[in-house]
C-alpha cells in the first residue's frame, strides 16, 4: 500500500552503513489520504455499532469487543502510516511494539490476580 | 593589542567539524555519521518516551478495565449523561489533525515551507477546537453542579436546572434519578442495588465520573503540551530552520501528536459509547 521511494544519497559519509532496509523510504501523500479515509470509515462504524446496540439488544461483551477491535484497527493504521513505523528502523519498530505488549502484560497479570481473588465482587454497595 | 581575530576562539573547540557542511545541514552533530542516522536516533528516543506515556495512560486504562468488569450496570447508567455528539465531533477533529500533522511531515520532507506552515497552522486550529469543545463539556458538568441549566446560564444567571444533578466527583456528587426508569427496564436484577440515586461519596456512579475526569483531564493536559510543541514547530519552520535534510523536530513532534490522538481513539468508545 505504501509507495516507497528512495531519496537521493545523503552525501559522502555513512551511506549504506546502517540503512539496509528502506531506511530512506517515505510514505506518499496519497497513502496518507487513503489512511485518513479508512480512519473516517472506522469512526463511522464505531458510532454506528453503538447506535445499533441501542436498538438491538446485543450481549454487552460483544459490544465492547466490537468497539475495541475498531479502536485497535485505527491505532494500527495511525502507528504504521502516520507514525511511519512501517518504514522505520527495526529498533523503532521493536519499541513501538513493546509499548503495546507491555500494556498487555500489565492487563493480563493484573486481571489474572483479580480473578484469582474472586473478581467481580458480589452485587451490592462498593466494597 | 587586539590582534586576535574573531574566528580564533571558535576554531579551537571544533576541529572535528573541519570536513565542511556541504553534504548535510549545519545541524548534523559530530557524533553521528549521517543526517539519516541522527534522525533515526532521535525517532527511537522519542519512541522510548512514548512507551512511558502509554504506561502512564495504561494505569488509568487498567483501573477502568478492573471497575467496568465489576460494575457494568453502573457504567451503562452513568455514561448516558455524557455528551456523545460532542465526543464524536472531537474524535473527528483529532483524526483530521493527525492527517494534517502527517502532511506537515511530508511537506517538510519535500522542502515545501509554505505547505508545512499551512498544515501546522491547521493543526493548531484543530487542537484549539478540540480543547474548546472539551472545555464546554466540562463546564456543562460544573454548571449543573452550580444548579444552572447550561454554562451560559451559569454565567448570566439564566435558566436553572430542574432536577439537582452534579456529576463532578466529590462531596456534592448527585446522580439524577431520571434514568432510573430506563435502567430498571434493561435491568438484570443486580442493577437494582445500584439504581437508587445516592448523593456524595457513597454513590457508585462517582467511580465512572472520577475515571472520566482523570482520563480526559490528563489527555487535555497532553493536548495543551501538544499545542505548545506545534506552536514552537511553527515558529522554527517560519524561521527557516526546517529543511529536507533536517526535519527531525517535525517528525518527532508529530509522533507526540499522533500518540495523543491514539489515546483519544480509546477514550472515546470507552467513555462515550457505553451500553
Secondary structure in 3-state letters for A66-119 = HHHHHHHHHHHHHHHHHCCHHHCCHHHHHHHHHHHHHHHHHHHHHHHHHHHCCC
Residues B148, B142: Cα–Cα separation, whole Å: 9
Residue B104: its chain A contacts at CB < 8 A?
none
A25 confidence band (pLDDT: 50, 70, 90): low
> How close B14 comes to chain A (CA, Å)?
19
Query: What pLDDT sits at residue A57?
Result: 86
**Cα–Cα distance between B191 and B95 in angstroms, integer?**
36
CA-to-CA distance for B95 and B104, rounded, in angstroms? 14
Cα gap B124→B231, rounded to integer Å: 7
d(C-alpha B160, C-alpha B137), whole Å: 17
Q: Do A67 and B275 touch (CB under 8 A)?
A: no
Residues of chain B where predicted confidence (pLDDT) is lower than 50: 1-18, 179-193, 195
Domain contains B93: yes
Structure confidence by residue, pLDDT tens digits, B241-258 = 999 889 999 999 999 999
Q: What is the largest CA-CA distance in chain B?
A: 96
Residues comprising chain A, all counted: 127
Asked whether residue B38 is domain-assigned, the answer is no
- H helix intervals, chain B: 7-11, 35-70, 72-79, 84-109, 113-145, 151-156, 180-185, 192-195, 205-238, 248-267
Kindly report the average pLDDT of chain A as a whole number. Answer: 82
Distance CA B126, CA B190 (A): 43
Is B47's CB within 8 Å of A95's CB? yes
Cell 502484560 belongs to residue: A105
Task: Compute the half-sphere exposure of residue B33: CA atoms within 13 Å on the CB side of its CA.
Answer: 10
Alpha carbon distance B195, B197 (integer Å): 6
A86 — contact with chain B (CB < 8 Å)?
A: no
Q: Please, which residues bridge with residue B166 across strands? A: B174
Q: Give the pTM.
A: 0.83
B64: Cβ contacts below 8 Å, ≥ 6 apart? B211, B215, B270
Mutate to test the interface with A, among B27, B41, B47 (most CBs of A within 10 A): B47
Structural domain of B137? 56-144+205-272
Q: Which residue has the higher pLDDT, B161 or A73?
A: A73
Report domain extents, chain A.
25-87, 89-127
Predicted confidence at residue B37, as pLDDT, reads 87
CATH value at residue B88:
1.20.120.80
B72 in a domain, yes or no? yes
State whether residue B160 is helix, strand or coil: strand
Nearest beta carbon to residue A99 from set B37, B51, B269: B51
Contact A120, B70 (CB under 8 A): yes
At B201 the pLDDT is 62
Residue B163 maps to a domain: no
Residue A7 is predicted with a pLDDT of: 41
Buried b (16+ CB within 10 A) or exposed e, B18-29: eeeeebbeeebe
User: What pLDDT, on a 0 to 100 scale, did the predictor assign at position B24?
Assistant: 58
Cα angle: A86, vertex A92, A97; to 5 degrees: 80
3-state DSSP call for residue B270? Answer: helix
pLDDT, position B20: 53
pLDDT the model gives residue B173: 87
Q: Is residue B11 part of a domain?
A: no
Residue B95 sits at φ, ψ, to 5 deg, of: -65, -40
Domain count, chain B: 1
Contacts of A18 in chain B (CB under 8 A): 33, 37, 40
Contact (CB<8Å) B44/A92: yes
CA distance B123 to B94: 9
pLDDT at A33 over 80: yes
Q: If pLDDT is split at 50, 70 and 90, which confidence band does A26 have?
A: confident
The answer to whether A52 faces chain B, any CB pair under 8 Å, is no
Structural domain contains residue B34: no
CA nearest B32 in A: which residue?
A14
Please state whether B102 falls in left (phi above 0), alpha (psi between -120 and 50) or beta: alpha
Query: Once rounded to an integer, what is the mean pLDDT over residues A80-107?
Result: 94
Amino acid at each position: 500500500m505504501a509507495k516507497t521511494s528512495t531519496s537521493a544519497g545523503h552525501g559522502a559519509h555513512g551511506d549504506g552503513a546502517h540503512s539496509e532496509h528502506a531506511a530512506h523510504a517515505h510514505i506518499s501523500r496519497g497513502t496518507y489520504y487513503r489512511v485518513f479515509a479508512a480512519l473516517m470509515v472506522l469512526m463511522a462504524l464505531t458510532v454506528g455499532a453503538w447506535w445499533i446496540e441501542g436498538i438491538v439488544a446485543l450481549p454487552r461483551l460483544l459490544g465492547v469487543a466490537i468497539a475495541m477491535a475498531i479502536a485497535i484497527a485505527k491505532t494500527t493504521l495511525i502507528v504504521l502510516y502516520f507514525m511511519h513505523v512501517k518504514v522505520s528502523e527495526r529498533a523503532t519498530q521493536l519499541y513501538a511494539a513493546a509499548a503495546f505488549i507491555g500494556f498487555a502484560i500489565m492487563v493480563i497479570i493484573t486481571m489474572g490476580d483479580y480473578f484469582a481473588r474472586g473478581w467481580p465482587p458480589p452485587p451490592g454497595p462498593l466494597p | 593589542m587586539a590582534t586576535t581575530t574573531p574566528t580564533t576562539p571558535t576554531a579551537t573547540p571544533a576541529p572535528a567539524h573541519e570536513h565542511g557542511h556541504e553534504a548535510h545541514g549545519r545541524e548534523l552533530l559530530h557524533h553521528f555519521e549521517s543526517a539519516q542516522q541522527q534522525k533515526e536516533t532521535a525517532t527511537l528516543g522519542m519512541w522510548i518516551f512514548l512507551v512511558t506515556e502509554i504506561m502512564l495512560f495504561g494505569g488509568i486504562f487498567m483501573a477502568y478495565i478492573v471497575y467496568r468488569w465489576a460494575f457494568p450496570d453502573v457504567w451503562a447508567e452513568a455514561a448516558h449523561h455524557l455528551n456523545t455528539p460532542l465526543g464524536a465531533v472531537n474524535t473527528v477533529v483529532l483524526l483530521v489533525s493527525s492527517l494534517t500533522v502527517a502532511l506537515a511531515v511530508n511537506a517538510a520532507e519535500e522542502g515545501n515551507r509554505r505547505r508545512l506552515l499551512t498544515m501546522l497552522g491547521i493543526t493548531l486550529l484543530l487542537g484549539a477546537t478540540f480543547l474548546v469543545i472539551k472545555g464546554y463539556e466540562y463546564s456543562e458538568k460544573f454548571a449543573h453542579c452550580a444548579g444552572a441549566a447550561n454554562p451560559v446560564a451559569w454565567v448570566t444567571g439564566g435558566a436553572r436546572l430542574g432536577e439537582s444533578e452534579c456529576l463532578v466527583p466529590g462531596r456534592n456528587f448527585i446522580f439524577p434519578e431520571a434514568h432510573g426508569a430506563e435502567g430498571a427496564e434493561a435491568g438484570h436484577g443486580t442493577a437494582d442495588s445500584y439504581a437508587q440515586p445516592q448523593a456524595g461519596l457513597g454513590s457508585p456512579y462517582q467511580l465512572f465520573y472520577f475515571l472520566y475526569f482523570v482520563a480526559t483531564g490528563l489527555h487535555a493536559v497532553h493536548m495543551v503540551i501538544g499545542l505548545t510543541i506545534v506552536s514552537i514547530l511553527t515558529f522554527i519552520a517560519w524561521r527557516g530552520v526546517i529543511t529536507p535534510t533536517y526535519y527531525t523536530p517535525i517528525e518527532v513532534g508529530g509522533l507526540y501528536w499522533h500518540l495523543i490522538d491514539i489515546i483519544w481513539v480509546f477514550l472515546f468508545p470507552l467513555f462515550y459509547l457505553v451500553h
